[in-house]
A = this chain, B = another copy of it.
Amino acid sequence: MYGIQIDKNSIFTITRQLYDQLRNLILNNELKAGTKIPSSRNLSKELKISRIIVVEVYEQLIAEGFLNPRKGAGTFVADGAFLQNNKKDPVRSTSQAINTNKSSTNCFAEISFKIGIPDLSLFPVNKWIKVLKDVYQFAHLSHFGYTNPGGIAELKIKLAEYLLRSKGIRCYPEQVIILAGSSQCILTAAKLVADYSEKIIVEDPSYKKVYELLTSNQLKITPVPVDHQGIQISKIPENKKQLSMIITPSHHFPLGSILPIQRRIKLIEIVRNNQGYIIENDYDSEFKYTGQTVQALQTLDPDRVLHIGTFSETLFPSIRLGYLIVPVNLIAKCSTIVIKNELAVPSLNQLALAIFIEEGHLEKHINQMKKHYLKKRELLYSLLTDTFDNNIEILGDPTGLFLTVSFLNVEWNDKAINKLKEYQVNVDTVANHTIIKGKHKDKLILGFGSLSFKQIEEGINQLKKAVKDILAERV
């Protein structure tokens, strides 16, 4: 009847099959308005299915307006339930797997000196699972409900304590805003200070994703050049009112310097005079291989500096946890931005991190990884100097998961980069992160966090071959 087919082996119930087919017959005008439909008794006989099912489906179609019951006369197809050009079961299959997440097959051979990826294989996953399990089993039920945007109190408190121990930051837990990664923190901080500044000063070069994030959100930036000590104070435009800036003082990206105290003090004086703010993007100071972790710029003036950190390198990137420390007088405004943009982080992950910090696992892990990364860095350093001798200069402070190298005899233009790819080496350039183009063409950024010792060796070997080719072709 009406071509209705019931398949008793389908993954869909008989009720659902009948409902879908009757609904589509009406929507497509194959069952026209005013048509009397068979009684439930007749249809159930015809289709050899239970009458209860037919009654149930008719009732639902009546409730949704497809059918009209008329007392004593039967049930009729309702007016206005026909849709022109109803997409008749568009053949959208879900079977086509998408592999956007998978690495390309090339990656087995390619050595990628990727930036910002920690050694994921050494994350203490069992400790983390244990904490997570405890959290799910013993957390108060309220942690499963709607919780504070901007982070749960437990993590704010533990982070404030940790930041005092690790970076000398003194802040109230209320100043700690937890967001889904440092980029979300940067965007939030930039929106926050944008009200107090026409343009935001950014270092040139600086991490491309950061300044692109600002400009894609209609925030205006002014690039200021960086030398071997960090941002050049003398190049900051003067007499600007309400000048704000985003900088990486602990370890400049990508040139690697620690901003000296004299420049730090001048920056503080500038924002004090201009009623502006400094956004301190501290993406990796945890991995400082010599001496103490540099005290945060934030400590010099907690009312003028917003401090940003991340757990992407200390835990793992996909945990999506970053923090933003805001001056006390910006807490309320920051909260408004977080709510307005519906930024949210799963509470139980936050609670797990709070306990992970409290039980000392975080600092223990960081200390172990520091030793591990130092070995990788030393290997990379010695391979580079052994291979390229006086033809390179290694820049910056021994901190973090990358090394920046200046080549005295190579310009890393497209052709040279393609040569690297031929040799299955994937390396980022400083030039890629410059805003005003034309400078820093001599420099490569070698991320080593996620590479094995063997891969580092192979990578430098391939780099050597590529450089040889590049130099040979130039002659």
Name the one of B266, B291, B319, B341 contacting A56, with C-beta atoms under 8 angstroms.
B291
Q: Does A87 contact B (CB under 8 A)?
A: yes
With most chain B CB atoms within 10 A of its CB, the pick from A101, A126, A340, A341 is A101
Distance (whole angstroms) from the CB of A231 to the closest CB of chain B: 14
Q: Does A436 contact B (CB under 8 A)?
A: no
Docked-complex contact B261 and A66, CB < 8 angstroms? yes
Q: Which residues of B contact A181 (CB under 8 A)?
A: 342, 344
State which of A163-171, A200-208, A414-422 sits at the interface with chain B.
Answer: A163-171
Q: How many residues of A contact B (CB 8 A)?
A: 118
Docked-complex contact A94 and B172, CB < 8 angstroms? yes
Docked-complex contact B317 and A345, CB < 8 angstroms? no
Q: Does A407 contact B (CB under 8 A)?
A: no
- A159-207 contacts to B, CB under 8 A, are 160-161, 164-165, 168, 170-174, 180-181, 183-184, 187
Q: Which residues of B contact A291 (CB under 8 A)?
A: 56-57, 59-60, 63
Distance (whole angstroms) from the CB of A270 to the closest CB of chain B: 12
Docked-complex contact B217 and A340, CB < 8 angstroms? yes
Docked-complex contact B157 and A98, CB < 8 angstroms? yes
Once bound together, how far apart are the Cα atoms of A57 and B136, in whole Å?
44
A213 nearest CB neighbor, chain B only: B342
Q: Does A117 contact B (CB under 8 A)?
A: yes
- A70-112 contacts to B, CB under 8 A, are 78-84, 86-87, 89-90, 92-94, 96-103
Q: Does A388 contact B (CB under 8 A)?
A: no
Name the one of B20, B23, B172 contacting A96, with C-beta atoms under 8 angstroms.
B172
Q: Which residues of B contact A165 (CB under 8 A)?
A: 11-12
State which of A147-155, A365-373, A466-474 sits at the interface with chain B.
Answer: A147-155
Docked-complex contact B100 and A344, CB < 8 angstroms? no
- Could you list 12 A-B pairs, sorted by A, with CB under 8 Å? A27-B261, A64-B294, A80-B262, A82-B265, A83-B300, A90-B302, A100-B153, A101-B152, A123-B144, A129-B137, A319-B348, A320-B345
